[in-house]
Amino acid sequence: MQQSEKLFSRAQKTIPGGVNSPVRAFKAVGGTPRFISKADGPYIWDVDGKRYIDYVQSWGPMVLGHNHSAIRQAVITAAENGLSFGAPTEAEVIMAEKVSALVPSMEMVRMVNSGTEATMSAIRLARGYTGRNKLIKFEGCYHGHADSLLVKAGSGALTLGVPSSPGVPADVAQHTLTAEFNNLASVEQMFAEYPDDIACIIVEPVAGNMNCIPPVEGFLQGLRKLCDNNGSVLIFDEVMTGFRVARGGAQERYAVVPDLTCLGKVIGGGMPVGAFGGKRDILTHIAPTGPVYQAGTLSGNPVAMAAGLAALAELENESLYPHIYHLTEALVNGFQAAADKHGIPLTTNHAGSMFGIFFTDLDKVTNYQQAINCNNEQFKQFYHGMLDAGVYMAPASYEAGFMSYAHTDALIAETVSAAEHIFSKL
């Protein structure tokens, strides 16, 4: 750990907290974040040369595993022709056609550089399209760090938005209403309160930022109906779930069609890429065809498009989804059996290749309050035990885990055996 420790203390002198994204600092679990020097397939290596089985996979993008040869080669080939032109390219057209084919509700697609940009732009578009101000989001759902989305719930369902970060003006936050995930009644109340001013609902169709919480039966269908009845836009934030919980995302898995979809992570194959899109009738309101402004110097970047297209091409592999679903199920079932054997109160969730484990007596975790009431002390001990054993999981109990195509049954067995050893001592 020596090199990581040295780098972390050096980093903190010139980078706030030593990191460029907060969760990397290990604040939730304590200790020194591992500085990573390389990754390949299911593994990452830290700067001290220690290898880990990786269940973070760059927070989701690497559904094929790290350093995939086809993606790497596509990036090298594209880079040989120049890094950025600021003018349209064929790769962007192919990308839009490909996304539209994989996610049919995305009749038109606009590329951006991150998930944050995708959700921020989709919200602006929904507001511009409807001429309304307010949006409904769900407690515990994260949609990137745009001002109007950095709002968490007050105590009651109808509490007006309170900013969850200094720097977000109350005037902006007041238009964000926060409902309870998996609770349609809390959403209905908001429509009753503001019948003509709700521009959109934005939801992670499988929540992956309060650990992993799938939608309960009827929840997404209910949101669809409420939006239809009230003239509001339904936005699925599939930055995490896109191409991961099914080839066509959560909308395919749960058979609910949103008006707008946000993508990120997998669509860039590891490069900084996001996208939003949806109904033609809505997308034509964006500049230059419409008045809602949105732009980007590096949007549709040729190297990023090459990486993304190479990643999406690999999704055609018929064995990909069965393999990652099977491994995800094997992993959570293995964790559950090991915990049961040693009397550790634990429950798990999973959807496609996303999973979560919760240290709790509850049979199932279905909302934010339940997720944050889990035993964080046990999680921390588990986390560091796994890290020592060479298993890299998300360094916070409220993050989902991710499986890749490069993982194997043998690695799952190794992971479960490491977990069992820790459970036996908790």
Active-site residues: which are they? Answer: 142, 237, 265
Binding part of the chain for ligand PMP, among 29-37, 187-195, 232-240, 332-340 by CB under 6 A, reads 232-240
* Residues 251-290 interacting with ligand PMP (rule: CB under 6 A): 264, 274
Binding part of the chain for ligand PMP, among 202-210, 220-228, 317-325, 374-382 by CB under 6 A, reads 202-210
In the complex, least distance from residue 301 CB atom to ligand PMP, rounded to whole angstroms: 14
Non-local (6+) Cβ contacts of 67 within 8 A are 38, 39, 40, 41
In the complex, least distance from residue 264 CB atom to ligand PMP, rounded to whole angstroms: 5
Contacting ligand PMP (CB under 6 A), which of 29, 240, 256, 338?
Answer: 240
What does the block give as tokens for 417?
A: 């055996």
Nearer to ligand PMP, 59 or 383 (CB): 59
In the complex, least distance from residue 406 CB atom to ligand PMP, rounded to whole angstroms: 21
Contacting ligand PMP (CB under 6 A), which of 126, 203, 234, 239?
Answer: 239
Which position's Cβ is nearest ligand PMP? Answer: 115
**8 A C-beta contact, residue 353 and residue 406:** no
Task: For the chain, report the end-to-end CA distance as a whole number of angstroms.
Answer: 24
**Per-position DSSP letters for 224-263, written without gaps between them:** HHHHHHHT-EEEEE-TTTTTTTSTT-HHHHTT---SEEEE
Residue 93's CB is within 10 A of a number of other CB atoms, namely 12
Give the interface size with ligand PMP as a residue count (CB under 6 A). 16
In the complex, least distance from residue 376 CB atom to ligand PMP, rounded to whole angstroms: 20
209 counts as binding ligand PMP under rule CB under 6 A: yes
* Residues 312-371 interacting with ligand PMP (rule: CB under 6 A): none
Alpha carbon distance 15, 416 (integer Å): 36
Nearer to ligand PMP, 115 or 214 (CB): 115
* Residues 33-62 interacting with ligand PMP (rule: CB under 6 A): 59
**Share of the chain residues as helix, strand and coil, in percent rounded to the nearest 5:** 40, 15, 40
215 counts as binding ligand PMP under rule CB under 6 A: no
143 counts as binding ligand PMP under rule CB under 6 A: yes
Alpha carbon distance 105, 248 (integer Å): 10
**8 A C-beta contact, residue 244 and residue 183:** no
Q: What are the Cα distances from residue 230, in Å, to 81, 158, 326, 337?
A: 49, 17, 40, 46
Query: Pick from 111, 134, 64, 6: which is nearest to 316 by CA?
Result: 64
Nearer to ligand PMP, 150 or 412 (CB): 150
In the complex, least distance from residue 241 CB atom to ligand PMP, rounded to whole angstroms: 7
Binding part of the chain for ligand PMP, among 28-36, 49-57, 115-123, 318-326 by CB under 6 A, reads 115-123
Query: Pick from 163, 230, 157: which is nearest to 199 by CA?
Result: 230
- Number of Cα atoms under 13 Å in the Cβ half of residue 366: 10
Alpha carbon distance 357, 206 (integer Å): 15
Contacting ligand PMP (CB under 6 A), which of 140, 161, 208, 302?
Answer: 208
One-letter amino acid for residue 357 of the chain: I
Per-residue mark of binding to ligand PMP, 372-401 (x: CB under 6 A): ------------------------------
Nearer to ligand PMP, 238 or 412 (CB): 238
In the complex, least distance from residue 210 CB atom to ligand PMP, rounded to whole angstroms: 11
For the chain, state the CA radius of gyration: 21
Residue with tokens 């990191």: 19
Q: What are the Cα distances from residue 426, in Å, to 52, 315, 397, 420?
A: 22, 40, 16, 10
Binding part of the chain for ligand PMP, among 126-134, 166-174, 204-212, 279-287 by CB under 6 A, reads 204-212
Binding part of the chain for ligand PMP, among 70-78, 127-135, 141-149, 150-158 by CB under 6 A, reads 141-149
**8 A C-beta contact, residue 110 and residue 117:** no
Judged by the rule CB under 6 A, the positions of this chain that interact with ligand PMP are 59, 114-116, 119, 142-144, 204, 208-209, 237, 239-240, 264, 274
